[in-house]
Amino acid sequence: MTLVIRETKETSIRCELTRGSGIATVSTGAPFLDHMLVAFARYSGLDLSLQATGDLPHHLIEDVGICVGASVGGLLSATAARYGDRTIPMDEALVHCALDLGGRPYYRGPLPSRLYDHWMRSFSDNARATLHLRVIRGTDRHHIVEAAFKALGLAVRDAFVETGAVFSTKGGVALRVSEPS
């Protein structure tokens, strides 16, 4: 389980993530964001409990992306597959996601929504993930964004598969950050 709590003047977020069956309890005050997080949890197979409040949609969506990303990064084991690659159709939309949870953040989009494109970048940076999203086709922004969250969820599910081996020619990578005394 990972627990991330983020408090700023602009937002208050509590995010708990565990390996499970994709059950989500989400309350952000932003119905579409709640819908995307529930879809992400369902498709990733991770249980998500998230409560958040914020002053502006931009701050709320960005900070939720930070917390969910940090939770995913903190939950991954050294012997997980690390990689995931999925394409999701949703009506006229078709979105491809390629993911590496190997510790090097990089995001390449874009999505046709500035706020949700920013969510993906915040997620990628804080999960320390390489994340490529390609909108292959689509006209409805809701369908495109939802297909992207579902594709990301399934790619995360694939990346979390336990292999019993470290998938890196470097072997296990340890990074420790200490607070100054």
pLDDT of 177: 65
- For residue 105, CA distances in Å to 25, 92, 123, 161 come to 27, 30, 9, 20
Joined together, the tokens standing for residue 14 give: 């509590």
Q: What is the pLDDT of residues 65-116, one digit of tens each?
A: 999 999 999 999 999 999 999 999 999 999 999 999 999 999 999 999 999 9
- CB-based contacts of 9: which residues, under 8 Å, 6+ apart? 55
Q: What letter does residue 45 receive in the DSSP assignment? A: T
The total of other beta-carbon atoms located within 10 Å of residue 134's CB is 14
User: Going from the N-terminus, what domains does the chain have, and what CATH number goes with each?
Assistant: 2-159 (3.30.230.40)
Helices marked H in the chain — which ranges? Answer: 31-44, 57-75, 114-127, 141-159
| Pairing, β 130-137 against β 2-7 | unpaired
pLDDT of 179: 73
State in Å, rounded, how far the first CA of the chain is from the last one: 27
User: Residues 121, 45: contact at Cβ < 8 Å?
Assistant: no
How far apart CA 131 and CA 85 sit, in angstroms, is 10
How far apart CA 116 and CA 160 sit, in angstroms, is 23
User: Residues 122, 62: contact at Cβ < 8 Å?
Assistant: yes
- List the one residue out of 144, 60, 141, 61 whose CA is nearest residue 97: 144
- Sign of the CA dihedral with 149 first, then 21, 123, and 56 last: positive
Tell me, yes or no, if the pTM score tops 0.75.
yes
Apex CA 36: angle with CA 35 and CA 40, to 5°? 120
pLDDT of 82: 96
How far apart CA 127 and CA 71 sit, in angstroms, is 7
**Which residues of the chain have a pLDDT value below 50?**
none
pLDDT of 28: 98
